[in-house]
Amino acid sequence: MQLSDELVKSVFDNIKNFVLSSVVIAISVIILRDNCAGNGYIYQYIIGSITFLAGIGLFAFTLSDAWKKIDSVISCLWIKLPALIIYALVAIEFIRVLWVMKMDL
């Protein structure tokens, strides 16, 4: 398989979108977690919830875009499925790391 410029560009675009959606989800989790500590106002719950839904939406769009790009490169379903599961697990771990970094500050 020969790597084209378009494939490399799409991989880096997908990583950028993945990081962006993970950061949005991590920020919303931090807002909601800090709000549950006891000093929460109703608007912070609303902002945290909207931000969380936006991050999940961005992640879903990124995942569907990754599925289309993987579908065009890899034809076997049994290779695509583990790739997408690994992608989702890495996203969850990235969000967890961002959350732990915030707690250590």
Task: Determine the structural domain holding residue 55 and report its residue range.
Answer: 10-104
Indicate whether 5 pLDDT > 90. Answer: no
Residue 63 lies in a domain: yes
Please count the other Cβ atoms lying within 10 Å of the Cβ belonging to residue 18: 20
Residue 71 lies in a domain: yes
Residue 1 lies in a domain: no
What is the average per-residue pLDDT within 78-104? 74
Structurally, the chain folds into a number of domains equal to 1
For 61, 75, 98, the CA distances from 58, given in Å and listed in that order, are: 5, 25, 17
Tokens of 38: 């006891």
pTM for the model stands at 0.69
Q: What is the pLDDT of residues 37-78, one digit of tens each?
A: 666 678 888 888 899 899 889 888 888 887 787 777 777 778
